[in-house]
Every structure is written in C-alpha cells, then in structure tokens.
C-alpha cells in the first residue's frame, strides 16, 4: 500500500467483558447518551476490529480508555500493552486517570512506563440532564487539585483527550491557555448533541472560541453520539464546519468502534470522512487521514 493511502484511526476501543470490568457496559446501568448498549455488550478485540475494518486501509490505531474499572486505572494499560505485543494493535494508548487523585503522580508514572502510552483521558461531560452527565461536577477544569494533576502531564510528555459539551469550551480554552505545553485533543468534534439551529450555532461559536488555543486539535469521530439516526446529509456539513474552524493541520479521524456500531457501520463512517475532506488538497487530506494523528500521538 502506498504511503498516502492508509488511515490512522485515532479513536477506538477494545474490550474483553468476560475477563474485565467495564461498569458503563453493565446491564444494570440506565440508558445514557449512547442509548441501548446491548449490541456492543460483547468482546471487541483486535480480530473483531480487523474484521470490521477489512479493506478500508486502516493501518494504525489509537486506543482511548474504555471506562475500565476506575479503581484500577493502570490495569487497562497493562492489558492493552500485552494485546499490542501479541497482535500489533493498538499502536498507541490513551489511558485513564482521575487527575485530582492524591496518587496522580504515581498513576501517571505507572502509565508512562508502558511505551505505547501517549496520553490520558478523563471524561468531563457535564449536562443538566443526569443521563447525559459523566463528570462528578461541572467545573473540574477549574479545581486546584485537578489542575495540579493536569500540570503533571507535560512533565511526562503526555497529551490530554478532552471530551465535553460546548458550554464547557470556555473553561477548556482557559485550561489550554494555562498549559500551553500540553497537547489537547477534543473528542467527537465537540459533541453537538443539540442539532437544533440554535444549538448548532452555539456549538460552532464555542468551537471557534476554543480553536484560538493553538495546542488544541479535534477528532472527527463519534458521529452518532447524541444523534443516533445520523446521516451523511446532516453530519458531513458539521464536519466541514469543524475543518473550516480548525484547519487541516489540527484535525484527525476516529472510528469510535465499537461504540459507533450502535448507530451505523464502518463503511458509512469512512464515507463521511471521505466526503468531508473531498474538497481539500491531497496534502491536506493526508494530514487528516493519518499525518496529524501520527504527529500528535507520535506514531
């Protein structure tokens, strides 16, 4: 395969629910943003991923923490590192840490001892609707203990995967400005779960504000989150808006498998990407398909 043909999937998940604990996948959990999780309440391992993406040209992946047992934050990294040694995937790992933990430096050091680890994600989504809420409070990014933990990322060369809703982007901009040495990657193109005209205007405006921070990039991923019946017609224009705001140097692609299999299939997800970047110059298409992810996640 020619170098300019392959894709880096910068956002995917593996899970072995027969052996490990994933509390969010428990049948006892109420339906949240993703809806009914029954179809993905199963093992999803490298062989399953390769079956889903066969023929689509994906050669490297970034595994983003999958809400593994939070009391064992490094356990997932240990498991994934072994998986990568035996199967070749994932190429890179974004682990989990509660950044306000009193043991944060030890946790981050334990993650960084594994050569494929590149960063951390702690989901920050806050919403007035409890079913759309993940974080423990709306203002974690402003809390001294949390920011102290965040400050340790740069010292270890770690990035931060940022998942939130648009009303939190002002806080995120201030965080990015205060920690300019830390690369921040906005997940799921800012999660525009309110697809009303007013909701999309507010999402776009917040994205423009956040884009002023040079150390923030964005993933085109999670197309069905909050909008399970997404279509190419209603989603590609939003991806075009993100590309317009951030520019091709700060955009990458993520499949969000297996979660987005709840809403679509991998071919359609890749078609959305292809249509969103079709009007760009070849070099810019390659940046979004692979080069930006390789640079930012150092793969």
Q: How confident is the model at residue 5 (pLDDT cuts 50, 70, 90)?
A: confident
3-state secondary structure of 62: strand
Mean per-residue pLDDT over the chain, rounded: 96
**Confidence at residue 57, expressed as pLDDT on a 0 to 100 scale:** 97
Residue 165 and residue 206: Cα distance in Å, rounded?
10
pLDDT digits (tens, 9 = 90+) for 44-61: 999 999 999 999 999 999
Look at phi and psi of residue 133 and say left if phi exceeds 0, alpha if psi is from -120 to 50, else beta.
Answer: beta
* All domains in the chain, ordered by first residue: 7-296 (3.20.20.140)
| Average confidence (pLDDT) over 202-231 | 98
| Average confidence (pLDDT) over 12-24 | 97
* Structure-token pair, residue 295: 């640079």
| Average confidence (pLDDT) over 180-198 | 98
Q: Report whether pLDDT(2) > 50.
A: no
Residue 242 and residue 250: Cα distance in Å, rounded?
10
Q: Report whether pLDDT(1) > 70.
A: no
pLDDT digits (tens, 9 = 90+) for 217-254: 999 999 999 999 999 999 999 999 999 999 999 999 99
Q: Report whether pLDDT(170) > 70.
A: yes
Q: How confident is the model at residue 4 (pLDDT cuts 50, 70, 90)?
A: low
* Structure-token pair, residue 47: 């062989």
Q: Report whether pLDDT(3) > 50.
A: no
* Structure-token pair, residue 50: 């390769």
Enter the DSSP assignment of 29. S
Q: How far is CA 168 from CA 173, 185, 189, 232, in A?
A: 9, 15, 14, 27
| Average confidence (pLDDT) over 186-198 | 97
pTM of the model: 0.97
């Amino acid at each position: 395969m020619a170098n300019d043909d392959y894709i880096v999937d910068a956002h995917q998940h593996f899970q072995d629910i027969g052996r490990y604990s994933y509390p969010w996948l428990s049948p006892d959990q109420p339906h949240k943003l993703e809806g009914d999780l029954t179809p993905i309440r199963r093992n999803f391992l490298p062989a399953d991923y390769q079956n889903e993406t066969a023929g689509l040209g994906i050669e490297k992946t970034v595994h983003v923490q999958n809400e593994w047992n939070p009391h064992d934050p490094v356990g997932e990294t240990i498991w994934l590192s072994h998986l990568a040694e035996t199967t070749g995937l994932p190429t890179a790992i974004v682990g989990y840490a509660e950044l306000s933990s009193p043991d944060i430096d030890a946790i981050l050091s334990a993650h960084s001892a594994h050569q494929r680890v590149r960063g951390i994600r702690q989901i920050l989504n806050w919403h007035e609707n409890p079913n759309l809420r993940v974080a423990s409070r709306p203002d974690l990014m402003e809390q001294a203990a949390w920011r102290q933990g965040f400050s340790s990322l740069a010292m270890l060369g770690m990035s931060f995967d940022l998942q939130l809703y648009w009303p939190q982007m002002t806080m995120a901009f201030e965080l990015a400005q205060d920690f300019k040495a830390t690369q921040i990657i906005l997940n799921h193109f800012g999660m525009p779960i309110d697809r009303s005209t007013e909701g999309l205007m507010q999402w776009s405006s917040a994205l423009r504000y956040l884009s002023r921070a040079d150390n923030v990039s964005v993933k085109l991923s999670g197309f069905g989150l909050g909008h399970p019946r997404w279509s190419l017609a209603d989603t590609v224009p939003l991806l075009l808006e993100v590309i317009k705001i951030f520019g091709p140097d700060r955009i990458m692609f993520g499949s969000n498998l297996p979660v987005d299999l709840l809403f679509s299939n991998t071919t359609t997800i890749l078609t959305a990407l292809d249509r969103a970047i079709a009007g760009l110059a070849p070099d810019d298409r390659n940046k979004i398909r692979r080069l930006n992810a390789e640079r930012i996640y150092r793969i």
